[in-house]
Each structure stands twice: as C-alpha cells, then as structure tokens.
Structure 1
C-alpha cells in the first residue's frame, strides 16, 4: 500500500472526541485530518468496515512478557517484548529496568540502545525507564535492597551516555540524601522524575515536586499510604494538581474504589494506565524470576516468596477494559489513559498517543468486544489477526 491513503471506519477515537462513519488521512507515516467525505476518488482507502479505530497504546512501565525480561540483557528479550505487546495494541513502550548494580544497568541500557538503533520488530522504544536503584527499604516491593543507594548524577550521566541518550524517566525515593538537588538536575536534562518505593512524608514529596518530580509510580503500591495526620506519598499524589499517577488496573494492585477516588481527585487526564508486567505475562502459572527474586504466579497473580506483589501479568488493553467497567468514564477517556496520558506524562504527546493531525499514525483496529484485529505503526500494518470479525475491505 502507498504511504498516502485514507482509513475508513465506523468509529474513530480521535483526540478531541469520537467520530462516526468518516475517514482519516494518513500520509508519510503521519495522521492528517478527519473528513466525512473524500472528494478525490482515486485515492487509496483502507476500509475496516464496522470496526473501531483507536490510537496505539503506550506502556510507560513494563519489565517483560512472554518469558522475557528487560534485565535478561539480551536483544532477543527486548525484541520478544516488542513483538508480543504489539499484538495487544501497544505501539510504543519504555523498557523498564529493575534495581541492580551500576555495571549491570550500564550493560542493560546499552543493549536497549542497540536494539533501538537496529530497529524493533514490533512496538517502538520511546525511551528507557530506570526504576531504581535510588529507593528505600520499607516499601521495596520486588526491588533488591542490596543495591539501594543515594542518587548520583555521575552514575546517571554514565547511563545516559551508554543508552545513547534514551533515558526518559527515572524513579526514586525523595527522602534519600541529595535527592532534591538530583531531581532538579535531572529534570533540567529533560528526564522525567517519578516518586516510588518510598517512605517519604508529605512535605518531602511536595519539595520533590517543587524541584521537578512529576509522576508517582504505581500509585498506592510501594509507598507510604494516606493518614489523616500525615498524608504521606499518597496524599501528595492525590492533592498535587500538575502531577501524573500510574495505576495498575489488574484488580489486585488497586481496588476499584481506590481507582474512583483517584479519578475524583486527579481527573482522568492525569492518570496513566501501566502494566508493570513481568516475564510471566502471556505465560502459564508457575515459577519465574523478576530480576534476582523468585516469583510464583498463581491465577495470573505474581508474588515473591515473602508474599509481596511482584509486578503483574496484565495486558494494557485489559487494564482499559477494567477501568471502564469500574468507573463512569467514557471508553474514549479510558483508552486515552493508556495512550495519550502516558505520552503527556513524559512530554511526547506532540508526537504520539492520539489520532490528531501531524502525529505518528499509530493505530489499532478493534471490534465491538475490543479485540485487536490490526495494529499499525506510522501507517504501516505491523500485526493482523488471522480471523477478522469486522466487515472490512482493503
């Protein structure tokens, strides 16, 4: 197919609302305008019939899937993640590291960079998320506290160099020595700082935000909770207007009531749905490893031997379905929590995350049950389900 065509569908999830029975132009890998009619009868048309066309999803916090993990430090594992998340509508992602040694993280970010240079076979890498190692023990979760330390700008500069400048986001505990100055320096480099695996009090979190921190990692998990006399990390997250929060909506990490409380306080446009998926995603129950920790997966729930949740096996599209069922939000709003909002949270919403003119033409074709039938990256179909359930023509 030529790289100038119109996409025809029953329903479009556009950035500014839902439109029905129209066309969206795609030219040179970018979205053009939505139109109700096409005057030029000679133009190529991809007609997906009675389907929904939605923007590609963006997972900004994912460790692995299909038996592979970012910390395997192999190109094959990164490509396995890229290939398999594409099948479920994810077109962009941030490979996410775990707390480890300085040298191991050097190797991992270098490997991710090499994969990105050579080209991903599925979803595209839009940066690296360093989850750690600047955390504290009390809320360590499945992070290895043996590697916890105070923030070092020299270490980060090395990781930036080794990654070819791919570091996009880093999570830390703001109570660590030197953290506030570190946050200020890091944000000045264009890297987004998230707060997580922390026992910081409310005031420390607010100071971190004033110095540039703008995201809270998997809200309610791995952090000091809310108390009426000390609002804690959760209180800072829910009361700060200009910060984003991650939510893992698998039904285990966060109760639906807590999800609704978050929406009422933050507004849906400040919530980023993430998976925090580990290598057991799309795999049977059993024993796995998350970093250096043994993890047991039962009924799709991943836990360490001590009983802590160890990431998830969630597919991002299932998180969208869950939050739609738990709330009064529209499906468009829920979808944008997995596409546009994650892009906004790391400053990429001018390029990806929604169907709007001059953005990269990443889109997902869905049936009414939200099954993924086709996925395109920059206008090129990269995945197509063998058995179609919509009336469509090429």
Structure 2
C-alpha cells in the first residue's frame, strides 16, 4: 500500500525541506514531492505541522533495553526485544551488543543474531562483539575472568559469521595490542568490521591497526588512556587520523563536553557517530540490574557499579540527538546525521539507510517540535512511540 506523508518537514540527510510530501510504499521511499506537484494515488497521512521526518536512527552499540540484557538473554527473542525497546526512541536498526563473556554466551549471541537478522521488520542489523579480546587494564565493567586473546577456534567461528548472515553486519571491538596482525587481517578479509576499544595501545599501534583495515573506534575516550603530550594514545591517534569512524556517548557523563567539542573540531565531518551503549533500564523505570552477577545501579543519569565505575549508559538515541547542540555545539542536522547517515556509512549501508531519498528504505523517525519521538516507520510500517 502506498502512503503519502504530508504536513511535516523532511530532513533528507542533507537539508530540511518545508512543504514537501513523502511517498512511501513496498518498504521503500518512492518519491519526494515538491509543493504544488500533483500527488499520485495513495493513502494520504496528514502529520502535525512542525513535526520532522528524519532517517531512522542506527545504533551500533546497544547492550540492552526494555529490561533485556543481551548477555543475559542471548537469543533471537532477546535481540528483537532490545530492538523493539529502542524503536520508541527513534532507533529503527540496532547492533545488539554482547560484551566480554564465556565462549558459550558469545556463540549463543551469534546464533541469535543470525536468526534475528532474518526476521522481517525486526530492526536487527547483526551483532556487535565488544570483547573479549581487550586489555585487562581497560576492561571497565567487563568481567575480567573472560578477557583473553583469540585462538584458532575463535578466528574460525568469527570468520564464518558474515557469510551466515546475508545483509547483516558483524562488528568486533578489540584491543589491537592484544591481537596479532595476521588475525586482524584474517577477520577483516572474512567480512568483519573491526573497531579499536578497551585498549592500552600506543598511538603508533592504533595507526598500524588502521593501516591493516580497522575502521572504527569504540566509545572514544572511554576505556582507553587519556591524551598526554608525549603519549597521545588511542584517543590522540583517533583525533589526528581522519580514517576511523568514532562512536561518542553524548550523555554529559562519559566525556566532558569540552573534550567532545575538541574531538569534533579535530576530525573530518562524517566520522563521528552517536552511540548509546544502552543497558536494560532504557525504556523502563528500573533502578538496577545484574551484569555477570554484579549489581549495576541507575543513579543521576548514569549506570554504575557500587564503586562508581560506569557500566554502559542511561541514554537513548533521541536524547543523544537532543544533546548534540548543547554539548557539542553542532546544529540539529549534524546530530541527526550522527545518528543515522554516519553509522550507515560506517557499516557499509549507504544507499539503503541514513537518508530520505527515492529508492532508499522507508526506515524513518517522526520527531515533534520538542524533538521527542512520535513514532517510526520500519520498512514502511508505522509504530507510534510510547
């Protein structure tokens, strides 16, 4: 069924259009109609004046939501429930994220992702393995018992996943000082996207990893050493090198706003992405949850262990977008790109997601004047928020 969406402004991924209408059908964007242009036969849906249609948000780092933790429920149902919980916040596609855990948990999560990706309209793009090949010194809330280096079985298991997940994406966060060059190249050749994170690597080692083909930096500044004049470390390398896409947790707690602004000023446009690092409380009123047997507390907009260590974020993507003008000093349009177009480009999905343009997927977010989410379309199917 074709629908003609009228009344709202449209953010195409580049500019905001007033007075235009959007034609969608069969899961795709069919056309953008300029004012005065004759409308084709379609069901007309009149939206509120002042509302904004934007590309659906894409979150590449989502540990949980709606009371579900992917590590705790590594099933297709768990992955789909997390995606559904985040949809009310404008996110139309997620990479459910499993952090450092037992080999059995990681394998179950992989099987879950294979099944969830094949579920039409489910909103699951694949899987993000955040660990276990990370630096013990920067494990953060990850369970240090399960931190390790990859062996042949790991490389074979991970390398086989992309081919089992047609159209899906496999993202792996690792510490490049803990993984040999040969293993990095093998995983990239198999189709995985690799990101630097939870690392003590020198700036020189990070540049070497980027030369090998690593594409991303996971939650820039977090779980890595700070920048020092003679030891710039991973964060310094990421700021100076224009190649990687960097994830930012823009909640006002994980990174000081001045550091966020410095990073944005240092890097080329298009290489900074919003991520939530969300946990099970997102979309609920829960004040705590369990992670590998440890209680995580929801306090003052943060998720912390008893000792105050940050353990994921109490953040949704719509809130992150709203934070961009105030905390990063960037216009709303750039915040919307950081939540949609840039993650799509990082994942190699440009041409499908991240813009409102004819032929692209009808995965859209509808924002009110206050930038709260009114609802979303996934493959053209509408769901109201709330």
Instruction: Verify the 8 A CA contact 2:159 2:190 in the aligned structure 1.
Output: no
Describe how 1:1-394 pairs up with structure 2 within 5 A. Answer: 2=1, 4-36=2-34, 37-40=36-39, 42-50=41-49, 51-71=51-71, 72-119=73-120, 121=122, 124-152=123-151, 154-159=153-158, 161=160, 164-165=164-165, 166-178=168-180, 180-284=181-285, 286-381=287-382, 383-385=383-385
* Mapped partners of 2:189, 2:161: distance in 1: 19
Q: Any idea what SS the aligned residue of 1:175 has?
A: helix
Instruction: State the Cα distance separating 1:368 from its structure 2 match.
Output: 0.6
* Mapped partners of 1:127, 1:59: distance in 2: 11
Instruction: Verify the 8 A CA contact 1:201 1:232 in the aligned structure 2.
Output: yes
Instruction: Verify the 8 A CA contact 1:99 1:133 in the aligned structure 2.
Output: yes
* Mapped partners of 1:40, 1:378: distance in 2: 21
* Mapped partners of 2:310, 2:339: distance in 1: 22
Q: TM-score, normalised by structure 1?
A: 0.91
Instruction: State the Cα distance separating 1:44 from its structure 2 match.
Output: 3.0
Instruction: State the Cα distance separating 1:189 from its structure 2 match.
Output: 2.0
1:385–1:102: structure 2 CA closer, same or farther, 3 Å change rule? closer
Instruction: Verify the 8 A CA contact 1:160 1:167 in the aligned structure 2.
Output: no
* Mapped partners of 1:202, 1:369: distance in 2: 41
* Mapped partners of 2:118, 2:179: distance in 1: 36
* Mapped partners of 1:63, 1:265: distance in 2: 29
Provide Cα deviations, 1:65-103, integer angstroms capped at 9, x if missing partner.
121111122444323212211111110000001111222
Instruction: Verify the 8 A CA contact 1:285 1:299 in the aligned structure 2.
Output: no
1:148–1:34: structure 2 CA closer, same or farther, 3 Å change rule? same
Instruction: Verify the 8 A CA contact 1:152 1:182 in the aligned structure 2.
Output: no
Aligned length: 380
* Mapped partners of 1:272, 1:115: distance in 2: 24
* Mapped partners of 2:187, 2:109: distance in 1: 20
Instruction: Verify the 8 A CA contact 1:13 1:19 in the aligned structure 2.
Output: yes
Instruction: State the Cα distance separating 1:120 from its structure 2 match.
Output: 5.5
**Which deviates more from structure 2 when the two are superposed, residues 338-347 or residues 281-290?**
281-290
* Mapped partners of 1:372, 1:284: distance in 2: 18
Instruction: Verify the 8 A CA contact 1:150 1:177 in the aligned structure 2.
Output: yes
* Mapped partners of 2:5, 2:21: distance in 1: 5
Taking only aligned residues, the RMSD between alpha carbons, in angstroms, comes to: 1.9
Query: Which runs of 5 or more structure 2 residues have no equivalent in the other structure?
Result: none
1:315–1:177: structure 2 CA closer, same or farther, 3 Å change rule? closer
Instruction: State the Cα distance separating 1:153 from its structure 2 match.
Output: 5.3
Instruction: State the Cα distance separating 1:162 from its structure 2 match.
Output: 6.3
Instruction: State the Cα distance separating 1:28 from its structure 2 match.
Output: 2.1
1:40–1:253: structure 2 CA closer, same or farther, 3 Å change rule? closer
Q: TM-score, normalised by structure 2?
A: 0.93
